[in-house]
Structure 1
Amino acid sequence: MTNYTDAELEAMLADLESDRAERKESFSGDVPTKVREAVCAFANDLPGHRKAGVVFVGARDRTGEASGLQITDELLLRLADIKTDGNIVPPPSMTVAKRALRGGEMAVIIVEPSDSPPVRFRGRVHIRIGPRRGIASAQDERILTEKRKAGDSPFDIHPLRSATLADLDRVRFENDYLPAAFAPDVLEANDRTLEQRLAVTKMVDGADTAVPTVLGILTLGKSTRDFIPGAYIQFLRIGGQSLGDPVTDELAVDGAISEVIRRIDDKLESHNRTAVNITAGPREERRSLYPISALQQLVRNAVMHRTYEATHAPVRVYWYDDRIEISNPGGPFGIVSIENFGQPGVADYRNPNLAEAMRVFGFVQRFGFGLAIARRALAENGNPPLELDVQSSHVTVAVRAAPQPAP
């Protein structure tokens, strides 16, 4: 990550025509939206600086001097939330810090150029045009797509040379994905070809070649496992507490990612059980074995963060009489390690573009909050704490059943 010195930051503050700096006097009114647009634009790095852009909060726009804004811990947390609130996808690589510059304190957001452009804020691709921000044209988006192809892109947008456009579900793309991914006015003004739209959304490697990517097959594939054999969830209901006990129900859940999530949700709900106690007090007491919201978060985390490269292993959901174990191939990634796995605020993305697609479909609302949401739901339902087994090659989470009220 870039760590600018005070002298470098003050030089950027003083250069009022710079396309690598933006200044905001406060963080109120429409400023939070404009700051997110700036972060998106810096992440796209259309000019190709290959240097981090900076948003200064608490700086006067016309002079670069400190505005006198109080830089509180609450403000810094609100700014840090820009990375994970799900509005900018793929999530930007950025840091937030309080710095003493040009006569006062400022909040400094340093945004690294994305290696997986185009980056969008609420369905729009924002870019820098000199010292101003703007919306990317079709040509700008093509340039950003080419930059992505030229870089060391994540595996989830690598092309699958054996696949063709015929292997992608066009109806799903046009009726489900596009309306959820882009603002209505953007779609209405869209004069791009199908291949161009697929390329902009990273479903194919480019408009000219139109070879489906891993993301395209996972998201729109008609026969996903023909190209990615491990792209499914293996569900087992085991009548006992160990793997050798009888299997009472099983299902291999495969297909496009939206179908996989919906089908596994149905399977989890069908096996969950709610006990009712009508004698404990004036109101009946109901408690499920497991809060469905926690199970959904954990399964979706497994699908999102697993490795799809060089393995045929599925995500495994094994439901025992006393617990549920959810296991995915692929251990910690990036800044996440075995030691810090699951700690609040520590998140990285093996499949950033798949994460974006899952957010588009509504399966993810905020990035990096899955475990926290699951833990809270388990505590509220009376389940024991989540158990984590984190290895270099896989991650397994175990959820213990909640004690049931006496009849």
Structure 2
Amino acid sequence: MLTEELMELIEELKLGKVETQKVECKEARVDIPRSLVESLSAFSNATGGGIVLLGVGDAPTFPILGVNNIDRLQSAVTNMCAQELEPPIRPQFSLHNISGRILLVIEVPEAGTPEKPVYIKARGIYHGSFMRQADGDHQLTEYEVLKLIENRGQPRHDMEFIDETSEADLEQESIDAFIARVRERAQGPIGDADKNTILRSTRVLAERDGRLTPTVAGLLMFGKMPQFIFPNLRVVFLVYPNSDPNQPGPNGERYLVNEPVEGNITTILQRLILLLGRHLQKRTVITGSIERDELWEYPREALREALANALLHRDYSPQARGSQIQVSLFPDRLTISNPGGLFGTVTLDNIDQPDVQQARNSALMRIAEDSGIVENRGGGVGAIIAAMRKYNLSPPLFKNTLSRFNLTFKNHHLLGSEALKWLDSININKLNSNQRLALVYAHKEGRIANRDYQRLCGVDTVIATRELGDMVQVGALNMSGTRRWAYYELSPQLSGLEEDIKFKGLPADSKKIWKYVRDNQPVARKEIIKALKGIFTENQIDYRLEKLVENNLIVATNLKEKASNRKYIIK
């Protein structure tokens, strides 16, 4: 890291433009803090790694304090990396002189999948493994550790046989259709094999003590009622009255619909599509002189693909069989949440790349392909994004942890009449159609990153980088963040057009609190006070929060809680 880059990073930390999830500041004036080893473990296990700044104080001011005994300090950190962690890590060190004070920067790379979790040897793998979460180091649970270990190879939980079942628990009509399809598609001797040989080779059945029993995959795909064996391997379909899940409806109801969906995977998928068709908004368009077509709030092909992905890629290990998939429909969005994070080398950055193909449940995926449920392995997320683009909707949002994966569709159309009116009002020339679309996205979401641009416009990273750079050159966007965490925001002259109106009549600097909520939502009142205490007093923050709520710019998500415990999101 160059000194100029470090100074920019510290400045952006002060402005709240860099996630503290990626950067840890520690004073270390004399000795290294013992908590450093936890941060080294956490960053090694985190996607993209992270940076430790020794000689910099805490938020919100991040004062430059400097460190002493540089050689001894660096030697101690090197020994910590080599001797206290398993496996040892090799971060990059750099020294920087800022205003006569020396800072030691430790750039921690993400460990490879086969090396995770990196843990503190003295505490053991189940008590010494950490992951970065928000602005702290989170000790991994036993389940999370097991997931990292599992990512090193190919899990076989879906291939386990189930003693208390038999072939009679499977839908024979579905089995016969499956056999016929396998024979039709087969190349080689499997096409001429008998029924039981095909079912064994595809892992629908497994043999134990001379008896054939369904596997987990076989029961999930073809079972008459898999929930008799696994009660929570189901989906819960929820419809909320408001965008805030904690805000009840006019009659005090928390849900408009709370319906469990059970059966095998094919049945669940069909029932979910029917439920969505019943509760989604629809509009009718004329496609010919007399032909009409009903368009759903979200593209049907995207919904089906996302639901199939959740059912096929969720974690079916014994530790996760008590958790269910949840489909939550809000007035402004739809979220699909399934147990188990992304598997293997799949990340949020490459999840839409067709050449990245890793399946946690390999037997289940093979059966799904042979059944016709999955037609294009590796292309599912790309197909979802393409369908949303065709519908003029934003790409879905993905959130991933070791224990859960969420996909969220938003229903606001990017180039609706309001967006077109806004584009006309800003009068920026020399932008192509992709750039105009990206400008609207940044306007609605608050920022846009290179990966967002690629998914939004269907271009590669080279084109995205060039076109975003051109937007900076013409004054439409400003780049924020450093290197790997770069993102783009509307330039002040553009954002000011609307925000000057939005915040007119509110207390001075209310926009700063609104931006902090936007960038960290949902965020608790005490976190806002801690982060902005150098700018506002506690009373000033409370007053501005109250006014922002009154003007429908932010929402308190848990009104039943006392004010000190409330969390806020953008309206």
* TM-score under structure 1 length normalisation: 0.55
How many angstroms apart in 1 are the aligned matches of 2:416 and 2:368?
36
Residues 260-339 of structure 1 correspond to what in structure 2 (within 5 A)? Answer: 260-276=268-284, 288-309=296-317, 310-311=319-320, 312-337=322-347
Deviation at 1:352, TM superposition (A): 1.4
| Alignment-mate amino acid for residue 205 of structure 2 | V
Cα-Cα RMSD: 3.1
Match of 2:376 among 363, 366, 377: 366
Deviation at 1:206, TM superposition (A): 2.4
User: Which deviates further from its counterpart, 315-324 or 156-165?
Assistant: 156-165
For 1:182, what is the secondary structure of its paired residue?
helix
Structure 1 runs of 4+ aligned residues shifted over 6 Å read: 184-189, 283-286
In structure 2, the partner of 1:379 is: 389
Residues 6-25 of structure 1 correspond to what in structure 2 (within 5 A)? Answer: none
Tell whether the 8 Å contact from 1:277 to 1:285 is kept in structure 2 after alignment.
yes
1:226 aligns with 2:234: no
Tell whether the 8 Å contact from 1:288 to 1:402 is kept in structure 2 after alignment.
no
In structure 1, the partner of 2:172 is: 170
How many angstroms apart in 1 are the aligned matches of 2:342 and 2:190?
41
How many angstroms apart in 2 are the aligned matches of 1:316 and 1:225?
16
Match of 1:157 among 149, 156, 159: 159
How many angstroms apart in 2 are the aligned matches of 1:306 and 1:357?
15
* TM-score under structure 2 length normalisation: 0.40
| Cα offsets for 1:76-117 (capped at 9, x unmatched) | xxxxxxxxxxxxxxxxxxxxxxxxxxxxxxxxxxxxxxxxxx
Instruction: Name whichever structure is richer in helix by fraction.
Output: 2
Residues 249-268 of structure 1 correspond to what in structure 2 (within 5 A)? Answer: 249-268=257-276
How many angstroms apart in 2 are the aligned matches of 1:382 and 1:233?
29
User: Computing the radius of gyration over CA atoms, which structure comes out larger, 1 or 2?
Assistant: 2
Deviation at 1:293, TM superposition (A): 0.9
Q: 1:230 to 1:187 in 2, by over 3 A?
A: farther
In structure 1, the partner of 2:521 is: none
Deviation at 1:153, TM superposition (A): 6.3
Tell whether the 8 Å contact from 2:218 to 2:364 is kept in structure 1 after alignment.
no
The total of aligned residue pairs comes to 250
Deviation at 1:313, TM superposition (A): 1.2
For 1:247, what is the secondary structure of its paired residue?
coil
User: 5+ unaligned residues in a row in structure 1: which ranges?
Assistant: 1-150
| Alignment-mate amino acid for residue 321 of structure 1 | P
In structure 1, the partner of 2:205 is: 204
In structure 1, the partner of 2:219 is: 217
How many angstroms apart in 2 are the aligned matches of 1:205 and 1:296?
30
Q: 1:287 to 1:264 in 2, by over 3 A?
A: closer
In structure 2, the partner of 1:398 is: 408
How many angstroms apart in 1 are the aligned matches of 2:154 and 2:212?
19
| Cα offsets for 1:273-309 (capped at 9, x unmatched) | 223589xxxx999854211111111111111111011
State, as a whole percentage, how many aligned pairs show the same letter. Answer: 24
How many angstroms apart in 2 are the aligned matches of 1:324 and 1:155?
29
Q: 1:238 to 1:187 in 2, by over 3 A?
A: farther
Deviation at 1:190, TM superposition (A): 4.6
Deviation at 1:188, TM superposition (A): 12
How many angstroms apart in 1 are the aligned matches of 2:191 and 2:375?
27
How many angstroms apart in 2 are the aligned matches of 1:367 and 1:344?
8
Deviation at 1:272, TM superposition (A): 2.5
Q: 1:287 to 1:153 in 2, by over 3 A?
A: closer
How many angstroms apart in 1 are the aligned matches of 2:354 and 2:341?
18
Tell whether the 8 Å contact from 2:202 to 2:367 is kept in structure 1 after alignment.
no
Deviation at 1:359, TM superposition (A): 1.9
Deviation at 1:163, TM superposition (A): 2.0
How many angstroms apart in 2 are the aligned matches of 1:395 and 1:243?
18
